[in-house]
């Protein structure tokens, strides 16, 4: 039996660092769900209008929407362990202050929203870094079960945290749940401090990207990547309507089902239990029907759960509806998350996932505000029914935006662009940089060449080109010139490192259409202040 066949769903636990961090994360997730129960229920006492209660969910999601892009850049540019330690300490400090204000009775509705927003902001900066450190904790062949176990941690916390939070809220009060959540963040800090990372320090060939440039690169890739764009469209269409029952759940428990904080915690536990059940359904469903149909099924289950919660009339029906909704939720979140992961190469993974999170939480924020306002006008049950209907209508409307199954794209770096042969050193910040390539194309191949070049243009701009175009020489029939520019010489060198195996295959198809030997390539930079002449470095290589 080979080593590969011995890998199981629990193999990552054999690695001590992963096991310790996983356990600490589970404790912190439980604390977070306890705080979610507390904040939602506090608002029903401080300002019980549907809009104000829904703003609690909005205050949790809004900072992730606002800070996702810089958070992703931070996760790619800086030491992730140190970034996580700082964010967890700041979260704990904020919660201890909030607990003190609760103790002296100085918390109003807007104070609650402020601290909810503050802890959400810390989570926004931590999330991309958490996702990015997993490959450092386990071998590559155990990465998939490690990611799955992280999902199990979230769902276990979702099942335990709300019920535990509701119990402590009734027995000991809101101050106790907030303090315990603060302590749970310190558990994460202790685990990270215990982890003595041994990541080798390497000197890159080019300087580290500046924060603004890194953010722009992440947004540029997201706009130009067709698979990621499709994923983002499907994500927005689902979450903006599914947010209704998350935002209105406290009022649903209190006003529709006539329960207290204990019932609210039980409903959240049922959602978590449904999510755990849905986790075990993912693998067989993926084999049988694929991600697009899984997302359609998830949308239908979510809509069904919302209707049952709204019109079931009993606590049992509400719990059953929450369980069904939990299944739909995890099927949708997992399918969309995997599609986003498969759409991203390593160099932009944290930033691309941050864009996905921005759309996720942006849709949740928008939906929470809209559905809270609608509920104040037409009622809770009617609002959930409308949101459920919109989810179902969205299935055929968004069907043409296919989720990524990992087929057709190989994001392995190809490194097939040779380094330019410089006649003089070029400073990394020198720019802009102009690159041109000349092709000779027969008339019979013009149409094919045009379509391949159009596809190549999206890739050039996706990976760093700030301008791109290709032109036909009107004085030399069959001669075409491609040009693209980078902001600096360092950016162009980074472009070299970002070219993938799929890009290499596409460029090979284009070069096969070229008649007349090697493609002629030229690099040029803006003249420096002391030089006065434009440096041109010709080099025949396939760029």
Which of 304-313, 332-341, 437-446, 467-476 is the least confident region? Answer: 332-341
- The per-residue pLDDT for range 188-204, each reduced to its tens digit, is 999 999 987 655 444 45
pLDDT of residue 9: 57
- In this prediction, residues 77-104 reach a mean pLDDT of 90
- In this prediction, residues 268-275 reach a mean pLDDT of 82
Q: Residue 96 and residue 36: Cα distance in Å, rounded?
A: 16
The three-class DSSP label of residue 479 is strand
How many other CB atoms are found less than 10 A from the CB of residue 236? Answer: 18
- pLDDT above 50: residue 26: yes
pLDDT of residue 542: 45
Selected residue with higher pLDDT from 61 and 242: 242
Report the CATH architecture of 11-197+209-397.
Answer: Up-down Bundle (1.20)
Which of 159-168, 177-186, 513-522 is the least confident region? Answer: 159-168
* CATH topology (fold) of 433-539: Alpha-Beta Plaits (3.30.70)
> What is the chain's mean pLDDT, rounded?
83
- In this prediction, residues 398-411 reach a mean pLDDT of 81
- pLDDT above 60: residue 4: no
- In this prediction, residues 115-131 reach a mean pLDDT of 86
Backbone angles phi, psi at 440, to 5 degrees: -115, 120
pLDDT of residue 534: 42
- pLDDT above 50: residue 178: yes
- In this prediction, residues 90-99 reach a mean pLDDT of 93
- pLDDT above 90: residue 183: yes
Tokens standing for residue 216: 């722009």
- pLDDT above 90: residue 411: no
Which of 143-157, 172-186, 426-440 is the least confident region? Answer: 143-157
pLDDT of residue 131: 76
- In this prediction, residues 129-137 reach a mean pLDDT of 77
Selected residue with higher pLDDT from 146 and 74: 74
Q: At what angle do helices 16-46 and 109-137 cross, to 10 degrees?
A: 170
pLDDT of residue 6: 56
- pLDDT above 80: residue 541: no
- The per-residue pLDDT for range 278-327, each reduced to its tens digit, is 877 876 787 788 889 999 999 999 999 999 988 887 889 989 999 999 89
- The per-residue pLDDT for range 218-237, each reduced to its tens digit, is 888 988 888 899 999 999 99
**pTM given for the model:** 0.77
Selected residue with higher pLDDT from 148 and 493: 493
> Which among 472, 224, 504 is positioned nearest to 344, based on CA atoms?
224
Contacts of 484 (CB under 8 A, 6+ apart): 435, 460, 461, 465, 467, 468, 469
Backbone angles phi, psi at 112, to 5 degrees: -60, -45
pLDDT of residue 407: 67
- pLDDT above 50: residue 337: yes
CA distances from 69 to 129, 285, 359, 443 (A): 12, 33, 11, 45
Q: Residue 271 and residue 302: Cα distance in Å, rounded?
A: 11
pLDDT of residue 1: 38
Evaluate whether 539 touches 420 at the Cβ level (below 8 Å).
yes
pLDDT of residue 416: 84
SS (H, E, C) 342-401: HCCCHHHHHHHHHHHHHHHHHHHHHHHHHHHHHHHHHCHHHHHHHHHHHHHHHHHHCCCC
408 secondary structure, DSSP code:
S
Residue ranges of the domains in the chain? 11-197+209-397, 433-539
Q: Residue 146 and residue 150: Cα distance in Å, rounded?
A: 6
């Amino acid at each position: 039996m080979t080593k590969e066949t011995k890998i199981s769903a629990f193999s990552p636990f054999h690695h001590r660092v992963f096991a310790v961090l996983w356990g600490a994360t589970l404790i912190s997730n439980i604390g977070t769900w306890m705080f979610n129960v507390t904040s939602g229920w506090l608002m029903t006492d401080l300002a019980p209008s549907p809009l104000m209660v829904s703003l609690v969910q909005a205050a949790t999601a809004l900072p992730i929407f606002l800070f996702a892009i810089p958070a992703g850049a931070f996760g790619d540019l800086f030491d992730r362990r140190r970034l996580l330690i700082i964010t967890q300490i700041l979260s704990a400090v904020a919660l201890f202050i909030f607990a003190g204000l609760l103790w002296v009775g100085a918390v109003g509705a807007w104070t609650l929203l402020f601290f909810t927003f503050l802890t959400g902001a810390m989570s926004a900066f931590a999330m991309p870094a958490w996702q990015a450190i997993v490959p450092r904790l386990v071998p590559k062949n155990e990465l998939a079960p490690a990611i799955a176990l992280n999902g199990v941690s979230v769902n276990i916390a979702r099942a335990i945290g709300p019920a535990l939070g509701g119990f402590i809220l009734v027995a000991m009060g809101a101050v106790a749940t907030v303090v315990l959540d603060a302590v749970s963040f310190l558990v994460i800090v202790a685990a990270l401090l215990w982890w003595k990372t041994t990541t080798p320090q390497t000197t890159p060939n080019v300087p580290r990207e500046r924060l603004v440039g890194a953010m722009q690169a992440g947004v540029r890739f997201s706009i130009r990547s067709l698979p990621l764009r499709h994923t983002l469209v499907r994500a927005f269409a689902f979450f903006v309507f599914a947010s209704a029952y998350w935002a209105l759940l406290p009022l649903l428990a209190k006003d529709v089902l006539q329960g207290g904080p204990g019932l609210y915690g039980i409903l959240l536990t049922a959602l978590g239990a449904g999510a755990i059940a849905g986790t075990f359904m993912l693998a067989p469903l993926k084999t049988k029907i694929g991600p697009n149909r899984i997302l359609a099924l998830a949308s239908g289950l979510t809509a069904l759960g919302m209707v049952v919660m709204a019109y079931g009339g009993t606590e049992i029906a509400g719990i059953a509806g929450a369980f069904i909704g939990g299944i739909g939720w995890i099927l949708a979140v997992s399918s969309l998350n995997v599609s986003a992961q498969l759409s991203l190469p390593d160099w932009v993974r944290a930033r691309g996932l941050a864009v996905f999170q921005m759309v996720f939480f942006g849709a949740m924020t928008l939906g929470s505000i809209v559905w809270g306002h609608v509920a104040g006008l037409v009622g809770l049950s009617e609002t959930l029914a409308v949101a459920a209907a919109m989810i179902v209508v969205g299935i055929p409307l968004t069907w043409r935006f296919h989720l990524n199954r990992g087929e057709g794209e190989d994001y392995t770096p190809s490194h097939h662009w040779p380094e330019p042969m410089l006649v003089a050193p070029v400073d990394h910040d020198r720019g802009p940089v102009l690159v041109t390539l000349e092709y000779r194309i027969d008339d019979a191949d013009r149409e094919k060449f045009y379509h391949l070049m159009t596809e190549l243009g999206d890739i050039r701009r996706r990976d760093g080109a700030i301008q791109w175009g290709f032109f036909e020489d009107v004085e030399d029939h069959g001669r075409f010139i491609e040009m693209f520019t980078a902001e600096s010489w360092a950016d162009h060198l980074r472009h070299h490192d970002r070219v993938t195996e799929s890009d290499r295959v596409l460029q090979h198809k284009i070069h096969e259409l070229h008649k007349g030997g090697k493609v002629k390539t030229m690099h040029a930079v803006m003249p420096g202040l002391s030089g006065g002449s434009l440096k041109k470095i010709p080099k025949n290589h396939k760029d």
